[in-house]
Chain A
Amino acid sequence: MAEITVQRLTKRYGETLAVDDLSFTVQAGRVTGFLGPNGSGKSTTMRALLGLVRPTSGRALIMGRPFAELSDPVRAVGAALDAHDVHPGRSGRAHLRTIAAAAGLPTSRVDEVLDMVELTPARDRRVKGYSMGMRQRLALAAALLGDPKILMLDEPANGLDPQGMRWLRDILVRLAGEGRAVLISSHVLSEVEQTVDSVVVIGAGRLVMQGSLAELVKGDRRPALVRSPRAAELRELLEDAGASVASDGRRDSMHVHNASLEEIGTLAADHGIPIFELTHEVTTLEDRFLELTGEGGNVR
């Protein structure tokens, strides 16, 4: 059974469809990136999973059950929704103690997680004086308190410097290696691409793709760059075959979508059209991500 199951989840706020018929699963033992531009519904989905918001329709399940029906929520899920969710006047340690007490955990556990996130030297200082990175660590510590089977972190890399990023990556990979399901959201792919094993990509509340990171990069949908002295002729053939072709302004080259390199090469050979260049265009993961989720304009 999947650790997290989102089934046809829809959440509507008045006119806004925050989450729109979204389905995906998250498995144990890996880090899953939950990706989408600002306002695409990542936080809302997580809040639905945690029983904080009620789905308009559909289901958000933890180990097959709604959050409210878990017998031991603290050991099932650890969540960090927003690093700012702390009373600034409390010390980091006092903050964690309030959560540990509610969860029935001893203060010794608080000190353990403080150690894990390397916050021990600052533990008695008031959170008011914490840097963003320290707040992120504190939020992660809170999520780790119950030694949970599932970790759900909303934008944990937000505000981390490259060093902090590497630290987070290591700790998350280790936690997943221990058999936990780790779900982390981000609106910047490059922020998490070295951390995640699989991805769930959403845009405008809808699922865009779910799969491994490799599948996200896979060239299937990357356009091909084709250079041929008989480009116009080849273009017609390709379009007849269902590919879409864009010109790049040069007479002898074009960009071909929806056709594999093999298909293009075979088609050209069948008609005796010489090919000078046939290659995948260089796209970065970031390009791919933008292509999938639609560039900008996602604020609804």
Chain B
Amino acid sequence: MNALKSEWLKLVSVRTTWGLLGAMVLIEGLAAGLVTGLGDIEDLRRGNVATFIIGTHLATVFMFTLGALLSTNEFRHGTANSTYVVTPKRERVVLAKLAVGLAVGVVGALLYIAVNAGLGLSILSSRGVVVDADTAVNGYVGVGVGLVLGCLFGVALGSLLRNQVLTIIVGLVLFLLAGTVALFIGSDVGRYFPGEALLALQNTPSVDLLSQTDGGLVLAAYCVVLGIAGMIFTRQREIT
């Protein structure tokens, strides 16, 4: 419980947290507003533009970065020393970071949904485009869960790699590049890469991807495995 409170305070006491969340809201608002406001009315009506996933990938990268900072800031700024002196049961710290990552992930997801729905959906309805409730709920659940998992992925990967720049680069490569490359060269394995699992979870229209549920499960599995590995690693390795 103590570790949890500490990790929460660490999160909310740096401006980067608010900067990343604010930037996400801003970009999402801009993207959703522009696409629904200026998009071709016929395209929108036919559902060719998947309104719920506008800017999703970028938003997920933001949440991933937020999670990664939660873990790697300790080593970047040397606070790992006092953190692990005060809490020598180190796995508790990692667990608390994952919990806080989950919490801020949910906050990010709610913000995203609020902005996207508040702006995008209302512009659409003002233009006479009707979106049925099932599609909307399904879309937002996928996007929301994706944002939460993206944040957890960052926390877990960061606890394993420790180095801030490395973690963010590896994350970007995994999310944006690796699966695409694998899919491009025709490998079936590419579908199981984190980035491709995320796309599936977030309803990206594509034949190459897993189902939405499977995508979510694969991404969640990555988080669980990386999280446990991060806990074991943090217990075993020295703090230097």
Contacts and interface: CB of A to CB of B under 8 A. Distances in A.
* A and B pair up: yes
Interface of A: 47, 50-54, 67-68, 70, 73-74, 77, 79, 81-82, 84-91, 94-95, 97-99, 101-104, 142
A101 B85 contact: no
A102 B83 contact: yes
Interface in B62-111: 73, 77-79, 81-88
Contacts of A79: 81-82, 85
B72 to A, nearest CB: 12
Interface string B201-240: 0000000000000000000000000000000000000111
Interface stretch (B1-9, B23-31, B179-187): B1-9
Contacts of A90: 13-14
Nearest to A53: B238
Q: Classify chain B's interface size.
A: 20 to 34
Contacts of A95: 13, 79
Contacts, number: 84
A98 B14 contact: no
B238 A52 contact: yes
Nearest to A126: B15
A86 B88 contact: no
Interface string B135-153: 0000000000000000000
A54 B235 CA distance: 11
Contact of B13 (A50, A74, A81, A98): A98
A85 B79 contact: yes
Given A97-B9, A98-B6, A102-B2, A87 B85 contact: no
A208 B78 CA distance: 30
Contacts of A47: 239-240
A183 to B, nearest CB: 14
